[in-house]
Every structure is written in C-alpha cells, then in structure tokens.
C-alpha cells in the first residue's frame, strides 16, 4: 500500500532484502512467541464464518468470555497481559459505535 503511494507521488524507493537479518528476526520471534489453544473452546469453529455465526449466539459469547476469564485467572496469572495477543474478527470484539461487544464486555483480558 505504501509502495503504491510512493509510485503515485513519483518518489524514488529501494526495496532492500537482508535475508540474514530476516532469518534472525524469525528465529527470535519463534523463541518469544508461544501459541496455545484453549481446551474448553476446542470444539468451536473460529474461522471467519464460524465467528460470524458464533457472535450471534449468547451461548457462544458466554462460553468464549468465560473461557477467556478462566485463562486470565488461571494460566495467565502473573503474566503481563500487555504481552498477550488474542485475535478475532473486529466486529466480534467491538460494535460499530466502538463499544465492547457482549463477548468481551463479560470478561475481556483487560
């Protein structure tokens, strides 16, 4: 996207590839990042369509919110939550007005 803007402005640019630097970055990221699943949610479908259908159900929202609350209070006790990354569809987390969705109003990891 930035590249298209630079082209539009007619500004010169250079794409630099440093494979060694990129490999070092990936190795460091692999050491620092841990990916874990939440067993209580393993039977749920969290692809885009699954989340689209799921957020419509109060039971889904309650189950996810309760699982996040338990994760925070048990496994993540003592962990700096600013270092925790959860991903989901944007509208699954926030309503159009920018207010937390019911899914996260119950027990967001805040």
Per-residue pLDDT band for 92 (boundaries 50, 70, 90) equals low
Extract the tokens encoding 64: 């996810």
Query: What does the pLDDT average to over 92-100?
Result: 57
- C-alpha neighbours within 13 Å on the C-beta side of residue 46: 13
Extract the tokens encoding 89: 């569809």
pLDDT at 106: 46
* The three-state (H, E, C) secondary structure of 35-50, written as one string: CCCCHHHCCCCCCHHH
Q: pLDDT by residue (tens digit) across 57-75?
A: 888 878 888 888 888 889 8
pLDDT at 17: 86
Q: pLDDT by residue (tens digit) across 1-48?
A: 788 999 999 999 888 889 999 999 999 999 988 888 888 888 888 888
Matching residue, tokens 């309503």: 95
pLDDT greater than 70 at residue 109: no
The radius of gyration of the chain from alpha carbons, rounded to an integer in Å, stands at 19
Query: What does the pLDDT average to over 82-105?
Result: 64
Q: How far apart are CA 14 and CA 81, in angstroms?
A: 38
pLDDT greater than 50 at residue 89: yes
């Amino acid at each position: 996207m930035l590249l298209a803007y630079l082209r539009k402005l007619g500004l010169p640019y250079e794409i630099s590839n440093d494979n060694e630097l990129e490999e070092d970055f990936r190795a460091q990221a692999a050491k620092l990042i841990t990916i874990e699943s939440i067993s209580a949610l393993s039977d749920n479908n969290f692809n885009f369509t699954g989340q689209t259908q799921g957020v419509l159900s109060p039971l889904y929202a309650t189950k996810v919110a309760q699982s996040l609350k338990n994760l925070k209070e048990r496994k993540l006790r003592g962990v700096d939550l600013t270092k925790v990354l959860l991903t989901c569809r944007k509208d699954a987390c926030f309503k159009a007005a920018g207010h937390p969705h019911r899914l996260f109003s119950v027990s967001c990891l805040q």
